[in-house]
Every structure is written in structure tokens, then in C-alpha cells.
Amino acid sequence: MRIRIETLPEPGFAVSVGPSKMTLLAYADYTRRDGEETRLGVWEVECKTCGEPFTTRMTSHILPETKRCEKHRRPVRGASK
Ligand SMILES: [Zn+2]
């Protein structure tokens, strides 16, 4: 489920979604494959399983969906090409 943010938060903004706390650290410029320039939010998220914070990048305006660190992330079936 994607959670859209209406107003872009400032770095330092923290939000809790269920048991996971997310903190926006910064924005990063990013050029998409189609050449369009956009900004990504760099988020620090607490792993749902071990509680360790990890960073993930997400299109601005969308809260990160990943709530587990790489160690505890389940491989997504059918995602490999
Ligand atoms: Zn973990």
C-alpha cells in the first residue's frame, strides 16, 4: 500500500506507520531512465523485524513501503526478470 503525502515534508520530518518509524533525512536529485529529473526522499526506516535503522530512497510524495532492512527483506516472488 502506498501512502501519498500531500505536502513535501522538510528533512527531519518523522512519521510512524504502524510499528515502523520513518525519518526523512534529505532529498537527492535523481535522473530517471527517461531523462526526467526528479527528487527522491532519503528516508531512515526502522526494520520491522530487528528494529535496526536503515536508509531507503523513495519518490518524493510517497512514503517508503519497505519496512525491513536488507537482511530481513523477503525476496519478492516474480520480480526477477
Ligand atoms: Zn532487520
> Residue 77: what pLDDT?
66
Q: What does the alpha-carbon distance between residue 2 and residue 11 come to, in Å, rounded to a whole number?
A: 20
Per-residue pLDDT of 27-47, as tens digits, reads 999 998 999 998 999 999 999
> Residue 5: what pLDDT?
80
Mean pLDDT of the chain: 86
The answer to whether the pTM exceeds 0.75 is yes
C-alpha 49 to ligand 1 mean position (Å): 5
Pairwise pLDDT comparison (79 vs 26), residue with the higher score: 26
C-alpha 46 to ligand 1 mean position (Å): 8
Closest listed residue to residue 12, CA positions, set 34, 44, 53: 44
> Residue 56: what pLDDT?
93
Asked whether 8 and 26 are in contact (CB, 8 A), the reply is: no
C-alpha 52 to ligand 1 mean position (Å): 6
Q: What is the largest CA-CA distance in the chain?
A: 37
Asked whether 40 and 31 are in contact (CB, 8 A), the reply is: no
**Residue 22, pLDDT above cutoff 80:** yes
